[in-house]
A and B are shown apart, each in its own frame.
Chain A
Amino acid sequence: MADLSTNLAGIKSPNPFWIASGPPGNTAYQAHRAFEAGWGGVVWKTIGDPIRNVSSRYSSIDYGNMRMVGLNNIELISDRSPETNFREIAEVKKRWPNHAVIASLMVDTRENWHDFVKRSADYGADGIELNFGCPHGMCERGMGSAVGQNPDVAQTIIEWVMEVATIPVIAKLTPNITDITAAARAAKRGGANAISLINTINSITQVDLDTFVPEPFVGGLSSHGGYCGPAVKPIALNMLQSCASDPEVGLPISGIGGIATWRDAAEFVALGSTTVQVCTAVMHYGFRIVEDMIDGLGDYLDSKGFKSLEDLRGRAVDTVRKWETLDLNYKRIAEIDYGKCIGCNLCYIACEDGAHQAIALADPAPYDLGPGRIPGKPVPEIKEEECVGCNLCSLVCPVHGCITMVSVETGLEPLAWADYQTRLAAGDATAFPPHP
């Protein structure tokens, strides 16, 4: 099987799967369980001045039968003393010398940062993650996302940390910012060895329509919570790619945000992650999910002939470009496999009401339909001339492989918007007529 071992700025782990800082990484007991299950690393629940939490703390959104498509929380950093946390980190490291244990830290003054950074190294942590991301509670006290949202402040704190750091330092970035690369560049300028992203997103998941108080409910009130889970993955991937493709960042990245399967992990690696961090999926199903992640990712690498994660890392980063570089003359259209079509006609109504009116309901007679179809019921038919290749029908189709998008030869030279503008200005091209 392909080599899954990783090295993030000097932090080594047997595989890229780390427990993200949060409830699953709160104690030595949990870290032992995580490593026994197969996880490669644990980022400890953020250590700082012990806090007092509220009850309740989490809320989520469901979609149909799917529970916890997105989760949010208003839980603060560790409520245990720094002494207990550091002592337990040492215990865990003693038993798991080849696994990564990273101390997540969040304090306020330069003096305190120095103290906590030194203690992390003294107690045997393999690295430090600076929590610049929590969007609830701690930010009101000038920490967490309050730092991450202000690149200059973040840079200053990283500089304080680097004054005394003897182990690798990862700056964890908040997504609650207009341009995450500004924060990533600040991390670079401050001297951080790596970045991790994304932390949770500001959110309100649901409003109780009887009490009119959102969840999580705390004595008649609620608060903005940090949002995570499968629903945030696209946002995380976008920010990951932005940082991975920015030459001014150039730091190794630990990817976080909605990772629940080996496939998610592979996508993160393809967009530039060195390691991936998982929290919500463990909160949902427990540490055992890592088994599938490990052999799923290994088998995938093997199937592609990749010897290690290095062969996959960053492969997709460069395929994401500015819109203006995309070929305006490329065309794909939808193709329906009538043998698989079950006659729900969702593609028709999606296109008709929601997109480009490029599917007709046609006489089924000429088509070789699958079994069980109602006689005479109209079938969807792609109007090839009208189809803009938007993908929507293939997205709504509930049957695997029934609607596929196929590239069609237009016979036209590739033409990107930027080139088109240049040629127009030079008088070398005529303007495209507007869509009728």
Chain B
Amino acid sequence: MPLSPKLTADQLATNLGDIAPRYSEQQAIVESSRCLFCFDAPCITACPTGIDIPAFIKKIMTGNVTGAARTILSANILGASCARVCPTEVLCEGACVMLDRDSDPIKIGRLQRYATDHVYENRIPVLKPAAKKSGKRVAVIGGGPAGMGCAAELARLGHEVVIFERKPNAGGLNTYGIAYYKMKPAVSLEEVALVKSLGVEFRCGVEVGEDVTRADLERFDAIFIGVGLGDGKRLRIPGEDLPEVIDALTFIEQIHTDPLHQIPVGARVAVIGCGNTAIDAATQARRLGAEEVIVIYRRGELQMSAYAFEYDLAKRDGATFLFHHTPVEVLGRDGHVTGLRLARTRFNDSGALEQVEGSEFTEPFDMVLKAVGQQKQSEWLTKLFPGLELNRNGTMVRDFETGRTSLPRVFTGGDCANGGREVVNAVGEGKKAARGMHKMFGEAEVVGPIQPSRWGVANGPFGSGLDAPIRVPELEAKYEQLSPASHPEPATSALT
């Protein structure tokens, strides 16, 4: 059967409403008062953009909410979206010293949202375009978090920037791909407007390589590649092309572009994969009215790449999990999905995952959401930039401090460079690349932000998460070896 919307607009507004609503003034003061205002606070070092978190929290406490937002946005231009989408449990809040004092960490994300909402809602300009222009021009390919992070920093340093974006709106996954209950697309579009206000030019609906040629790009003084990842990976099993087999990101994008009450969803939905996108798809399918959502993962609970708190959320939303199973065929009738043929899997003696012979069975489903990772853009990259050196996993060889690729004037950051990490990593990498270019243009090196009280302190200022993150640059390379996101899942089969 074709899929249909399940709930009314009112029900959906409730179901997909903010999961972590904005703090009231009272809540913000109570929460900010808990902050110890650490010296060289670990939360700063855990933030990939190095926001001076204790400083902005202190400002909230004193009622200087505009100043708090200035502190946030000058370190992280996407502070409003990061406040909503950052996995704070494993970043700033995970580093909070309160955890060592047997208490809850300060709710940094919620406070950050409180501060940034204040300036967006009241239209208070906190960042200004650079007064002095350098005359340098930079092309930024991709208007997602990395591109915006790079463009904003460049603009603030006085350089001219043009962002080329394929979609009708910039913002990347922030505009099209975040779970709706975490963030509405309007927040991302406000951020695009902020970057524009710094003098950055956006050219949306432009395909680089077609509408804009390499020769066009060569006229810029530097190029930043922030194109993210490509289409979702295929399952490569029979029946995959039935209309109710949908890529999870496509499904999520639809939630962001269509009215909620017009979004079709299945009654019994299978989600294939168990990363954070799978969770987003599962929870949103439930919230859109799916009666049953089953997340199917070929490995076990311990191997899933979804964060623990995302896993908990999906369970609370009523999704169920089927571990050690893999789809072998999408079943259909009259051109529509009717179910999946599944097989059990196990780790064999040598530790490899294998399908258990004779374990196949069928389960009825009317919708299948694929969340088995995204493809790298290797083909597009090497076509447009012959000579660009890639790692074996499809990420770009680059200098972790500056984002500089193997090509002299080409820089990169974000998912296409790191293989797929958080929004905040993309912003930080974009910013580092901007500073790398700035230095390349012969300008003075830019660092920080570092807590003002740290300047001039002898014996190793611990710095910010941008310059000296908890995962120090030397470890970045190692991280990419270890990160599940960077482990390319062979596209030959759903089963590895």
Task: Write the residues of chain A forming the contact surface with B, with a CB cutoff of 8 angstroms.
Answer: 64-65, 342-346, 348-349, 352-353, 360-362, 370-378, 398-399
Contact = CB atoms under 8 A, between A and B. Distances in A.
Contact of B460 (A346, A349, A373, A378): A378
Given A345-B40, A361-B457, 6 more contacts: A64-B61, A65-B33, A372-B100, A378-B460, A398-B101, A399-B101
A399 B39 CA distance: 15
B99 interface: yes
A64 B459 contact: no
Contacts of A346: 36-39
Contacts of A378: 40, 459-460, 462
Tell which of B34, B45, B100 has the most Cβ of chain A within 10 Å.
Answer: B100
Contacts of A64: 33, 61
Given A371-B100, A374-B470, A343 B36 contact: no
Nearest to A347: B39
Contacts of B462: 377-378
A343 B29 contact: no
Q: Is the interface on chain B under 10, 10 to 19, 20 to 34, or 35 or more residues?
A: 20 to 34
A345 B33 CA distance: 18
A343 to B, nearest CB: 5
A346 B36 CA distance: 8
A371 B100 CA distance: 7
A65 B100 contact: no
Contacts of B45: 374, 377
Contact of A349 (B30, B39, B46, B97): B39
A361 B459 contact: yes
Interface string B269-294: 00000000000000000000000000
A65 B35 CA distance: 11
Contacts of B40: 345, 361, 377-378
A362 B459 CA distance: 8
5 interchain residue pairs of minimum CB distance: A64-B33, A349-B39, A342-B100, A344-B38, A342-B97
A343 B100 contact: yes
A344 B97 contact: yes
A372 B97 CA distance: 8
B453 interface: yes
B36 A344 contact: yes
Interface in B372-428: none
Interface in B440-479: 453, 457, 459-460, 462, 470, 472
Contacts of A352: 457
Nearest to A402: B101
A254 to B, nearest CB: 35
B100 A373 contact: yes
B48 interface: no
B95 interface: yes
B101 A342 contact: yes
Interface residues of chain A: helix, strand, loop or mixed (majority): loop
A348 B39 contact: yes
A166 B460 CA distance: 74
A349 B454 CA distance: 9
A373 B40 CA distance: 13
A345 B39 CA distance: 5
Contact of B97 (A343, A353, A361, A362): A343
A329 to B, nearest CB: 32
A398 B36 contact: yes
Nearest to A345: B39
A370 B36 CA distance: 18
Interface in B170-225: none
A374 B44 CA distance: 12
B353 to A, nearest CB: 32
B41 interface: yes
A60 to B, nearest CB: 15
Nearest to B94: A372
Nearest to A349: B39
B42 interface: yes
A346 to B, nearest CB: 6
A349 B37 CA distance: 11
A370 B61 contact: no
B38 A372 contact: no
B329 to A, nearest CB: 47
A401 to B, nearest CB: 12
Contacts of B38: 343-346
Contact of B99 (A361, A372, A376, A398): A372
A350 to B, nearest CB: 8
A349 B100 contact: no
Contacts of B41: 344
B437 to A, nearest CB: 29
15 contacts: A65-B34, A342-B97, A345-B38, A345-B39, A346-B39, A349-B453, A360-B459, A371-B100, A372-B99, A373-B100, A374-B42, A374-B46, A377-B462, A378-B459, A398-B36
A377 B460 CA distance: 10
Contacts of B95: 374
A352 B36 CA distance: 17
Tell which of B30, B97, B99 has the most Cβ of chain A within 10 Å.
Answer: B97
Contacts of B470: 374-375
B454 to A, nearest CB: 9
Interface in B1-52: 29-30, 33-34, 36-42, 45-46
Contacts of A360: 459
Nearest to A400: B101
Contacts of B30: 65
Contacts of A342: 97-98, 100-101
A15 to B, nearest CB: 35
A362 B462 CA distance: 11
A371 B102 CA distance: 11
B438 to A, nearest CB: 28
Nearest to B457: A352
B486 to A, nearest CB: 22
Contacts of A373: 100
Tell which of B29, B38, B453 has the most Cβ of chain A within 10 Å.
Answer: B38
Contacts of A375: 470
A330 B29 CA distance: 43
A65 B32 CA distance: 9
A345 B45 CA distance: 14
A374 B34 CA distance: 21
A342 B99 CA distance: 8
B255 to A, nearest CB: 37
Nearest to A398: B36
Contacts of B34: 65
Contact of A353 (B37, B46, B98, B453): B453
Nearest to A380: B39
A130 to B, nearest CB: 42
Contacts of B100: 342-343, 370-373
A377 B42 contact: yes
A143 B45 CA distance: 61
A343 B42 contact: yes
Contacts of A399: 101
A365 B99 CA distance: 21
Contacts of A65: 29-30, 33-34
Nearest to B95: A374
A211 B53 CA distance: 32
A345 B462 CA distance: 11
A344 B106 CA distance: 13
A374 B47 CA distance: 13
Contacts of A376: 472
A64 B29 CA distance: 7
Tell which of A346, A360, A362, A370 has the most Cβ of chain B within 10 Å.
Answer: A346
A224 to B, nearest CB: 25
A398 B45 CA distance: 21
Contacts of B46: 374
A352 B42 CA distance: 19
B320 to A, nearest CB: 33
A359 B266 CA distance: 63
Contacts of A344: 36, 38-39, 41, 97
